[in-house]
């Protein structure tokens, strides 16, 4: 006979954004769009991630990463931004911290850009429009490695 | 208002129901008016600050108590003569429209006139030198006829000031119609009517370009129809189509044959330096573009060739990059050169080496054309289907766009004036070069 | 405008709008427009660079912009504030970027610039000597006009 304890309770599932030690993963969002920042924040917050900070262009993104380091687990990076684009910012962050975990999030799905980013060291690449499931899946893939 | 403006006296006002007031002025010898609600004030001014790089009708700007406003010379804008060019001080109406304030220079400001709105009649083209769409209506007052300008239309949608382009492209004024050359007797009236129906049914405009052919065809047509006991006049689209059938150039709607290629190559020069630029207007499904590209490649093995093919029919031109033809439609020189490859049984397309020479563009040649200088312009049976003023404009464009020694290939039955163009003919191929003397 | 450039824009517009708004769409007939074009109230602009030069405009009324932003944010937007504007520019960005992606698959190398947005009635984007392709899109949320002007760098 099956008892209640045989079935995992949904309420007992740990939110994806919480590490094993109980603290949340800290994320830096780099994107020039207020709307995208809001979208990613909502998706990640709903699973317990903490948004450590946001930046509106590549230059600001690199600065903030350096400030937050080493208390930063993940960066989401847009490609098309003013002042400094995401690919350049990716390079600079990796120069600073070769173990940085950066996920590119862009509306551009060009093969050569994807290849370039991954070759440079980005851990993953998500093409917009964003859907919650896809974002969480990829983020966790990168964090759990 | 200045004291040169007179208003209706109280008793005159009582005589009719006044619910609309206009300020009247003269322009090129005719009387115009503008709704008084659009007019902020009136100036007499002699100095305006010139602004470089603006359209010819922009006289400059003026500082109106701290506000810098543009000043437009309405006479230049509408191409009407300036009645008193030596006038020291100009009459300027300051218009305040929804989102712009500007001044317009007119010949002479007259007075404020009160009218009843219901007396305003719709405009008729005959009343004015300017395009009907800029007129809101006409009204008679005190035995004078005033043409009321729709200033919102003139200065609203089309932002006159930010632009630097030619007036031809901006204000559609009524250019003098290229007259259909006829004498004033009955036969020629018949011809004139036929010419008019060709416009109606086929947008075919009879001008110097095709007059010879059309007149000859008319004679032929007339004989045919009268001996068959039928009406000479074109009653419907089908008649018009029949009339025009012999007009079209050889190989219309298909790849150009060996004979055409032979003839054309006799006209072309021994060699070209560098890139051969070709502009193909009205390419339709692409037959002409592929033909000219193939003919050039066949003759000039080493030159870079660039064909700019345009059409404003999106459906037709979007199929052009992928044109497929059956083997029997392909002239032997294209097969022999290996310019085509089989797609499936009996159907062929052009190979990359030819396809890559052509850029197909959805483009209306009546808009600005931004191309490098051309060696060959292919415009077969295109000009005749443009309005007369556009025909002229395009022919002028050709002149400026052709390289030294460049040629224009028109339709078989289209001709360019001998004084300005030198004709080259080889069988069924006719081309024109700019006449330098 | 080069014939091969047309479909990518039309398809990208359809795909993105369907996915992001989930509504029915119909496309009006495409046509060419020359000279400067007045604006409906809200216009997002994305520049095109690379082998070409040009831009894409996304033109709509304020009402439509609010309706679209509301649908994309999952909440009622009542003003043209920073968030609404950011939402519209992101829509423009996604459509243009997807078109550019398709173009790159066809062998055409385009790049895009960060977007800009203009609001205000009767304001004009004045491009002298640029012919534009107009793609009118009708949705229950309102009408959107996509205006593409691009030419090869000589």
Classify residue B2: in a domain, yes or no: no
Nearest to A80 among C104, C105, C114 (CB): C114
Q: What is the mean pLDDT of the segment spanning B59-80? A: 87
Query: What is the rounded average pLDDT for all residues in chain C?
Result: 89
Size of interface A-C (CB pairs under 8 A): 51
pLDDT(B437) > 90:
no
Report CB contact under 8 Å: C154, B318.
no
User: Can the peptide bond before residue A70 be classed as cis, meaning omega within 30 degrees of 0?
Assistant: yes
Cβ of residue C4 closer than 8 Å to a chain B Cβ: yes
> How much is the pTM?
0.71
Q: Is the pLDDT of residue B23 over 50?
A: yes
Contact C27, C136 (CB under 8 A): yes
In a domain, B177, yes or no: no
Supply the pLDDT for residue B6.
53
- Both B154 and B30 in a single domain? yes
Q: Which residues of C touch A35 (CB under 8 A)?
A: 72-73, 83, 86-87, 89-90
**Average pLDDT estimate for B369-378:** 94
* Out of A36, A110, A129, closest to residue C16 by CB: A129
List of chain B residues whose C-beta atoms are within 8 Å of the C-beta of residue C126: 159, 162-163
Residues of C in contact with B163 (CB under 8 A): 35-36, 126, 128
CATH architecture label of A20-140: 3-Layer(aba) Sandwich (3.40)
- Asked if the Cβ–Cβ distance from B368 to C2 is below 8 Å, we say no
Q: How far is C60 from chain B (nearest CA, A)?
A: 16
B172 vs C1, residue with greater confidence: C1
Q: Which of residues 78-137 of B touch C (CB under 8 A)?
A: 98-99
* Domain CATH code at residue C137: 3.40.1550.10
Q: Distance (Å) from the C-alpha of residue C66 to the closest C-alpha of chain A?
A: 14
pLDDT at B176: 45
Task: State whether B141 and B71 are in the same domain.
Answer: yes
The total number of structural domains in chain B stands at: 3
Question: DSSP assignment, residue B228?
Answer: T
High-pLDDT (> 70) share of chain B, %: 87
CB distance C83–A34 less than 8 Å? yes
Q: Among C34, C151, C154, select the one facing B372 at the smallest CB separation.
A: C154
Which of A48, A21, A27 is CA-nearest to residue A143? Answer: A27
Half-sphere exposure of B374 (CA within 13 A, CB side): 25
Q: Hey, of B54, B152, B163, B283, which one would you mutate to test binding to chain C, going by the most C CBs within 10 A of its CB?
A: B163
Kindly determine whether residue C124 and residue B162, on different chains, have CB atoms separated by under 8 Å: yes
Q: Which residue of A has its CA nearest to C98?
A: A108
Please indicate whether, in this complex, the C-beta atoms of A129 and C112 are within 8 angstroms of each other.
Answer: no
Per-residue pLDDT, A6: 53
Of chain C residues 6-25, which have a CB less than 8 A from chain B?
6
Contact A108 C89 (CB under 8 A): no
Q: How far is it, in rounded angstroms, from Cα B293 to Cα B304? A: 11
**What percent of chain B stands above pLDDT 90?**
58
Q: Average of pLDDT values for B265-287?
A: 95
- Spatial distance between the Cα atoms of B308 and B47, rounded to a whole number of angstroms: 48
Closest CA–CA distance from residue C58 to any residue of chain A (Å) = 16
**ipTM for this model:** 0.91
In this predicted structure, what is the pLDDT of residue B132? 75
Boundaries of domain holding C103 = 3-152
d(CA C101, CA C108): 9
pLDDT at B182: 45
Q: Check CB contact of B352 with chain C, cutoff 8 Å.
A: no
Print the domain residue range for B378: 258-434
From B35-44, B309-318, B324-333, C96-105, the region with the lowest mean pLDDT: B35-44
pLDDT at residue B350, rounded to an integer: 97
Neighbour subunits, A (≥3 Cβ pairs < 8 A): C
User: Using a CB-CB distance cutoff of 8 angstroms, which residues of chain B are in contact with residue C30?
Assistant: 314
Contact partners, residue C74, CB within 8 Å, separation at least 6: none
* Residue B328 pLDDT: 94
Residue B298 lies in a domain: yes
Count CB atoms within 10 A of the CB of residue B124. Answer: 11
Report yes or no on chains C and A touching (3+ CB pairs under 8 A).
yes
Candidate from C6, C36, C124 with C-beta closest to B318: C6
- pLDDT digit string, tens, across residues B425-434: 999 999 999 8
Q: What is the pLDDT of residue B46?
A: 82
Q: Which range is least confidently modeled, B149-163, B409-423, C89-103?
A: B149-163
Position B194 in a domain: yes
Q: How far apart are CA A74 and CA A25, in angstroms?
A: 8
User: Least CB-CB distance to C90: which of A36, A82, A112?
Assistant: A36
Any CB–CB contact under 8 A between C22 and chain A?
Answer: no
Residue C28 at interface with chain B, using a CB cutoff of 8 Å = no
- Tell me if the bond preceding C97 is cis, omega within 30° of 0: no
Distance of CA B372 to the CA centre of its chain: 21
Domain boundary among B247, B278, B296: B247
Note the pLDDT of residue B88. 82
Can you state the angle between helices C82-105 and C62-73, rounded to 10 degrees?
A: 80
Does C126 touch chain B if contact means CB atoms closer than 8 Å?
yes
CB contact under 8 A, C104 and A128: no
The stretches of B147-267 forming alpha helices (DSSP H) are 151-152, 167-170, 186-202, 211-227, 237-244, 258-267
Q: CA A117, CA A132: separation in Å to the nearest integer?
A: 22
Q: In chain C, how many domains are there?
A: 1
A32, A34, A80: residue with CB nearest C82: A34
Distance CA B319, CA B253 (A): 13
Using pLDDT thresholds of 50, 70 and 90, give the confidence band for residue B173: very low
Does residue B5 belong to any structural domain of this protein? no
| CATH number of the domain to which B298 belongs | 3.40.50.150
Backbone angles phi, psi at C60, to 5 degrees: -160, 165
Q: What is the mean pLDDT of chain B?
A: 86
**Cβ–Cβ contact C151 with B under 8 A:** yes
CATH code of residue B90: 2.40.50.180
**∠ at Cα B188 (B183, B192), nearest 5°?**
110
> What are the structural domain ranges in chain A?
20-140
Q: Which residues of chain A have pLDDT under 50?
A: 2
Contact (CB, 8 A) for C122 and C39: yes
> Which of these ranges, B61-75, B398-412, C72-86, has the smallest mean pLDDT?
B61-75
**Gyration radius (Cα) of chain B, Å:** 28
What pLDDT is recorded for position B2? 44
Residue B160 lies in a domain: yes
Top mean pLDDT of B52-56, B62-66, B133-137, B343-347 is at B343-347
pLDDT tens track for C109-151: 999 998 888 887 555 555 555 789 999 999 999 999 999 999 8
Which of C6, C131, C135, C148 would best serve as a mutation to test chain B binding (most B beta carbons within 10 A)?
C131
Residues B101 and B204 in one domain: no
Q: Are residues B165 and B239 in the same domain?
A: no
pLDDT computed for residue B167 by the predictor: 37
C32-60 confidence digits (pLDDT tens) = 988 656 577 899 999 999 989 889 999 99
Closest to C131 (Cβ–Cβ): which among B162, B314, B367?
B367
- Residues B140 and B284 reside in one and the same domain: no
Chains that touch C (3 or more CB pairs under 8 A): A, B
Does residue A111 belong to the interface with chain C, where contact is any CB pair within 8 Å? yes
**pLDDT above 70: residue B175:** no
Q: Which of B247, B275, B295 is the last residue in one of the domains?
A: B247
Which DSSP letter does residue B58 get?
E
State whether residue B323 sits within 8 Å of chain C by CB.
Answer: no
CB-based contact, C105 to chain B, within 8 Å: no
Q: Does B322 touch chain C (CB under 8 A)?
A: no
What is d(CA C151, CA C146) in angstroms, rounded to the nearest whole number?
Answer: 16
Residue B161's pLDDT band, with cuts at 50, 70 and 90, is very low
Say if B186 is an interface residue toward chain C (CB within 8 Å): no
| Cβ pair C20:A129 closer than 8 A | yes
Asked whether residue B227 is domain-assigned, the answer is: yes
Q: Are residues B70 and B213 in the same domain?
A: no
For residues B173-200, b (16+ Cβ closer than 10 Å) or e, as one string?
beeeebebeeeeeeeeeebeebbebbee
State whether residue C82 sits within 8 Å of chain A by CB: yes
Q: Are B349 and B203 members of one domain?
A: no
């Amino acid at each position: 006979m099956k008892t209640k304890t045989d079935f995992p309770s949904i309420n007992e599932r740990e939110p994806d954004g919480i590490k094993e030690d109980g603290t949340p993963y800290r994320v830096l969002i780099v994107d020039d769009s207020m709307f995208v920042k809001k979208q990613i924040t909502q998706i990640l917050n709903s699973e317990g991630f903490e948004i450590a900070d946001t930046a509106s262009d590549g230059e600001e993104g690199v600065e903030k990463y350096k400030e937050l380091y080493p208390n930063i687990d993940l960066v989401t990076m847009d490609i098309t931004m003013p002042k400094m684009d995401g690919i350049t910012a990716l390079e600079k962050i990796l120069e600073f911290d070769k173990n940085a975990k950066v996920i590119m999030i862009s509306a551009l799905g060009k093969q050569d850009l994807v290849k370039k980013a991954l070759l440079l060291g980005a851990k993953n690449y998500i093409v917009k429009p964003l859907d919650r499931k896809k974002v969480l899946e990829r983020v966790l893939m990168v964090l759990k490695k | 208002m200045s004291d040169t403006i007179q208003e209706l006296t109280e008793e005159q006002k009582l005589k009719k129901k006044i619910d609309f007031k206009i300020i009247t002025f003269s322009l090129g010898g005719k009387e115009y008016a503008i709704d008084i609600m659009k007019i902020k004030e009136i100036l007499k001014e002699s100095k305006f600050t010139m602004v470089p790089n603006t359209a010819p009708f922009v006289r400059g700007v003026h500082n109106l108590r701290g506000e810098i406003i543009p000043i437009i010379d309405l006479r230049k804008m509408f191409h009407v003569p300036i009645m008193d060019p030596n006038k020291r001080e100009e009459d300027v109406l300051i218009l305040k429209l929804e989102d712009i304030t500007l001044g317009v220079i007119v010949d002479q400001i007259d007075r404020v006139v009160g009218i009843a709105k219901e007396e305003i009649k719709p405009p008729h083209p005959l009343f004015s030198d300017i395009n009907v769409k800029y007129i809101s209506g006409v009204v008679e007052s005190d035995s004078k006829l005033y043409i009321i300008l729709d200033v919102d239309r003139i200065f609203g949608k089309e932002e006159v000031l930010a632009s630097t382009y030619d007036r031809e492209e901006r204000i559609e004024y009524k250019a003098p119609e290229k007259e259909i050359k006829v004498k004033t007797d009955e036969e020629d009236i018949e011809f004139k009517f036929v010419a008019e129906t060709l416009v109606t049914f086929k947008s075919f405009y009879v001008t110097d370009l095709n007059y010879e052919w059309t007149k000859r065809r008319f004679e032929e047509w007339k004989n045919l129809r009268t001996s068959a006991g039928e009406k000479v006049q074109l009653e419907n689209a089908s008649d018009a189509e029949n009339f025009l059938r012999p007009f079209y150039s050889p190989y219309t709607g298909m790849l150009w044959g060996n004979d055409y290629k032979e003839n054309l190559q006799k006209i072309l020069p021994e060699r070209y330096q560098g890139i051969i630029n070709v502009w193909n207007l009205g390419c339709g499904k692409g037959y002409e573009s592929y033909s000219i590209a193939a003919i050039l490649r066949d003759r000039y093995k080493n030159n870079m060739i660039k064909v700019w093919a345009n059409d404003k029919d999106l459906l037709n031109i979007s199929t052009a990059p992928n044109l497929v033809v059956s083997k029997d439609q392909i002239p032997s020189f294209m097969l022999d050169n290996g310019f085509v490859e089989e797609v499936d049984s009996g159907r062929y397309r052009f190979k990359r080496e030819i396809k890559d020479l052509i850029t197909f563009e959805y483009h209306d040649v009546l808009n600005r054309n931004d191309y490098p200088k051309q060696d060959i312009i292919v415009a077969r049976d295109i000009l005749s289907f443009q309005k007369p003023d556009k025909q002229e404009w395009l022919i002028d464009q050709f002149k400026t766009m052709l390289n030294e020694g460049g040629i224009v290939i028109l339709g078989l039955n289209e001709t360019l004036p001998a004084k300005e163009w030198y004709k080259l003919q080889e069988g069924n191929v006719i081309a024109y070069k700019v006449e330098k003397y | 405008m080069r014939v091969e450039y047309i479909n990518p824009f039309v398809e990208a517009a359809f795909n993105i709008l369907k996915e992001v708004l989930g509504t029915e769409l119909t496309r009006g007939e495409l046509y060419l427009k020359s000279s400067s074009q007045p604006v409906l109230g809200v216009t997002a602009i994305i520049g095109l660079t690379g082998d070409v030069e040009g831009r894409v405009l996304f033109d709509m009324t304020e009402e439509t912009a609010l309706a679209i932003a509301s649908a994309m944010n999952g909440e009622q937007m009542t003003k043209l504030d920073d968030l609404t504007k950011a939402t519209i520019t992101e829509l423009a960005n996604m459509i243009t970027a997807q078109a550019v992606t398709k173009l790159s698959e066809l062998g055409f190398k385009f790049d895009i610039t960060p977007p800009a947005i203009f609001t205000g009635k009767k304001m004009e984007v004045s491009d002298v000597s640029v012919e534009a392709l107009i793609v009118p899109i009708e949705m229950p949320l309102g009408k959107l006009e996509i205006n593409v002007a691009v030419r090869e760098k000589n």
